[in-house]
Structure 1
Amino acid sequence: MKDLFKEFKKFVSRGNVIELAVGLIMATYFGAIVKSFVNDIIMPAVGYLIAGVDFANLKLTIAERVLEDGTMQAITINYGAFINTIITFTIVSVAIFMVVKAYNNFMEKEEEKPAPKPAEPSKEEVLLTEIRDLLRS
């Protein structure tokens, strides 16, 4: 059991696992923000522009049935929710593309920076190099 715990501790303490966990958490909340943006800002505006249609309420009723308590239950295909999901996916894809593109541009600029010149040898090093060269000849 101790070996298993040590192995797990070694696995978790690796940088990649922590980075993956942080990335997963950030992606989850980024997705929630984009979903809210689509559902609460984009779709009402689009619905207003196309004569007040709310995509979330678009559905196709296949059948209706009466439950034991006397209420009606409709079996529906919610294609409006599907349209919202497609729009959300598209916006998330574009946003992630823009973030990755900005990251790649940043990394290219970092690579383009010239490497610092090596420091000039000190007077002692120059003197020792001359002495070495004299001893060789």
Structure 2
Amino acid sequence: MDGMWKEFRTFIARGNVLELAVGVIIGAAFSTITKSLTDDLIMPVVGWLFGGFDFSSYFIRLGPIPASYAGSPDNYAALKAAGVPLFGFGQFITVVINFLILAFMVFLLVRAVNRAIHVVEHEKKTGQAVPAPEPEDVKLLREIRDELKRRNEGA
């Protein structure tokens, strides 16, 4: 048992496990952002473009509505909260759209990282780094300095 505990501590102490934990936490936060992007920005625009089209309103009620329920029979969230069994294919479509957006964002992130890695590897092979372009404010300051030197030399 003691050997297994040591092995477990070694496993947990590895950087990969900690990086995975950080990735899961950031992924959960990223998922929340993606859900908001879909629910609050993309789906309302889609609904507006298609004349009030709302995916969440597409469901099939699989059971009776309780007598105590006073809400709308077309409100998916309220019916679900009331315990009515629902086949929510509209909500599923929204989740699929969330996934596609998230997958595309991850693709863009991985693509950017791969390009950065490619540049670094190229620099290692050639032995020279690609110089970063000089910022405009540095250029301007250099020109001012040179002009002041030129004026002082002429005076």
The TM-score, its normalising length taken from structure 2, stands at 0.64
SS at match of 2:52: coil
Aligned length: 113
* RMSD of aligned Cα (Å): 2.1
Greater strand percent: which structure?
A: 1
Segments of 5+ residues of structure 2 without an aligned counterpart are 70-82, 129-155
- Asked which structure has the greater CA Rg, the reply is 1
Shift in CA distance, 101/76, structure 1 to aligned 2, threshold 3 Å? same
Question: Partner of 1:87 in structure 2?
Answer: 97
CA distance in 2, matches of 1:45, 1:35: 15
| Match in the other structure for 1:108 | 118
What residue number does 2:150 align with?
none
In structure 2, what is the Cα distance between the partners aligned to 1:27 and 1:12?
20
Work out the CA distance in 1 between the residues paired with 2:44 and 2:85.
Answer: 25
Matches within 5 A, 1:67-82: 67=66, 70-71=67-68, 74-82=84-92
Post-superposition Cα deviations, 1:70-124, rounded to whole Å, max 9, x if no partner, equal 33675432111011011111111111110010010000000000237xxxxxxxx
d(CA) in 2 for partners of 1:64, 1:112? 66
Q: Secondary structure at the match of 1:52?
A: coil
Is residue 3 from structure 1 mapped to residue 9 from structure 2 by the alignment? no
Aligned-residue identity in percent = 35
Q: TM-score, normalised on structure 1?
A: 0.72
* Aligned mates of 1:76, 1:24 — CA distance in 2: 31
